[in-house]
Structure 1
Amino acid sequence: MYSILLSVFACLSTCYCLVAKAENRDHCLLLKQWLESSSVAVELSKKGFHREVITTVELKPDVLSDVRVLLVHRWPRGVYVDPYQLASLSDQHDWKILLDSAIDLELPAHKTSGFVTYVYPSHIGPTPRPLKVTIPVHGRYHEPSFVGKTFTSVDVESPELLLWTEKCTQLSSLQPHAAVDAPCTVSNSSTCQWVKIQHQQELSPLSFQFPVGDASLVAPVCGGTLLVTMSCCAALSRYMWKHRII
């Protein structure tokens, strides 16, 4: 009797494992199809030191219903995002953002380092409309130029598009799309293996143009400022002495 029960349990366990593997394989196949049909477009709006980076993600609809989307921006040291501004705008957009480090808003470009942001759209699963994320980005002040340059360029790479679903664990079957580690959620309490879309590397970087000072004018400007200051002080002192104001 016991041997019959054990045989039945073993058979059921084997069948369950085969069904689970088949479902996992089918789910990974659908995910790979979604990866190959997805696309990322990036554009830059506004001018000056205060810009907006607009990322549009096109996802193939009616494929999967439990896929999470993550955009990873790797920013250079010449720009920054304002955490306080993002917090004040949290009610106006449908995504959450995680910073990998603290942001000092006052430091010039040459005294800072690059940083990474993780953007989590609140919508999970397929959608008939594109996902659009608009991030306010600000330029930092740069060191003055000693060679007569009036503008400097800061190149910003396009974001990486990552997808994740718990139903696909055989990530090796998704090649050439690579598996990368990233925070599972905006709370940053755990790390998951996301799948990075490979073909998006063809996107060209965005180029920011920021004005810089002319270092060759430091001596004339300082000398002229000192001369004007001394002349004003002398004229004011003479006027006060003449009219016995002191």
Structure 2
Amino acid sequence: LRVRSLPSLSGLRIWCFCELWCRPAATALIRPLCLFYFKKNLLVLLGIRATCSEIILKQEVLKDGFHRDLLIRVKFGEGIEDLQTCRVLIRQYIPTGLFVDPYELASLREKNITEAVMVSENFNIEAPDYLSKESEVLIYARQDPQCTDCFQAFLPVHYRYHRPHCNDEETFIVVNNPDLLMYCDQEFPVLKCWTQSEMTAPCALNSQDICQWNNMKYKSVYKNVTLLVPVGLTIHTSLVCSVTLLVTVLCSALILVAVFTYGHFSL
């Protein structure tokens, strides 16, 4: 008899593979042993799955106008007994229609309002939508004081300038759901249940240590967040240019009149 364990998807060894190298008369004794081994490990697997409650992520945008706040809330179920030993990292991708001001993030970090840092390099906050690229931000989430099993992350975002349209006075910006990364000092069943992959990132915002984070699978309340941005119409180009030129000439003339009337010149 040769007994070999094969790993399952979660890393738990549950399968009993029996290779019979003896006479057929011994088969009746070996089969019950294999069946017992299989049932025992199957119950262990089902016990772990029973503790795998869903991870719920909710992403919403606060405020009105061209300057918004992106708020991300994460709620864990009962699979983790002590969240104090865990850290949550949000990897948010910012679409081309939005931008995050790195100087604003630095100011917010100094005031201990948020723990977010830009990952993308050569980032231009002045570029219009059609000349910009998608950017990436890492946000170290904090535990929600009003919810023992919840984390939340905050990120200010701003609209970029968009091209005028022919007919529509509004355009759409789609903010996709982020990647949810988790690192715990000890093992929890939820890590084995919902881990999709792993990635390396700093253990904390101001830390030089590198941790192996688990990219977690979650259930999102909303598929994504859609923002409406007002844009100009191309049919108004001539009118806007004419009015702008007229106002510029009038203001320049008024400035010159004021200078020559009230200015004191000495030759």
TM-score past 0.5 threshold? yes
Which secondary structure does the structure 1 equivalent of 2:148 belong to? coil
Per-residue CA distance 1:105-158 (angstroms, 9 max, x = gap):
2111111101111111356xxx7152222211111111111x221111100012
TM-score normalised according to structure 2 size: 0.62
Alignment map for 1:26-175 (pairs within 5 Å): 36-60=53-77, 63-64=81-82, 65-93=84-112, 95-102=114-121, 103-121=123-141, 128=148, 130-145=150-165, 147-165=166-184, 167-168=186-187, 174=192
Per-residue CA distance 1:28-85 (angstroms, 9 max, x = gap):
x999887644321111111111111111111346624422211111111110112222
In structure 1, list runs of 5 or more residues that go unmatched: 1-21, 23-28, 235-246
Which secondary structure does the structure 2 equivalent of 1:87 belong to? helix
- 1:184 partnered with 2:202: yes
Which secondary structure does the structure 2 equivalent of 1:89 belong to? helix
Change (3 A) 1:30 1:184: farther
Which secondary structure does the structure 2 equivalent of 1:42 belong to? strand
Distance 1:162 1:34 in 2: 20
In structure 2, list runs of 5 or more residues that go unmatched: 1-11, 13-45, 254-267
Distance 2:49 2:86 in 1: 12
Answer whether contact 1:70 1:163 (CA < 8 A) is retained: yes
Answer whether contact 2:174 2:226 (CA < 8 A) is retained: yes
Answer whether contact 1:183 1:189 (CA < 8 A) is retained: no
Deviates more, 1:99-108 or 1:216-225: 216-225
Which secondary structure does the structure 1 equivalent of 2:241 belong to? helix
**Would you say how many aligned residue pairs link Structure 1 and Structure 2?**
206
Q: How far off its partner does 1:162 sit?
A: 1.4
Distance 1:30 1:104 in 2: 51
Distance 1:128 1:170 in 2: 18
Distance 1:92 1:37 in 2: 34
Which secondary structure does the structure 2 equivalent of 1:133 belong to? strand
Higher helix proportion (structure 1 or 2): 1
Task: Name the amino acid aligned to 1:133.
Answer: A
Distance 1:95 1:32 in 2: 34
Which of 236, 240, 255 in structure 2 is aligned with 1:217? 236
Change (3 A) 1:189 1:32: farther
Distance 2:189 2:149 in 1: 29
Which secondary structure does the structure 1 equivalent of 2:172 belong to? strand
TM-score normalised according to structure 1 size: 0.67
Task: Name the amino acid aligned to 1:63.
Answer: E
Change (3 A) 1:109 1:63: same
Higher strand proportion (structure 1 or 2): 2
Task: Name the amino acid aligned to 2:106.
Answer: A
Which secondary structure does the structure 2 equivalent of 1:174 belong to? helix
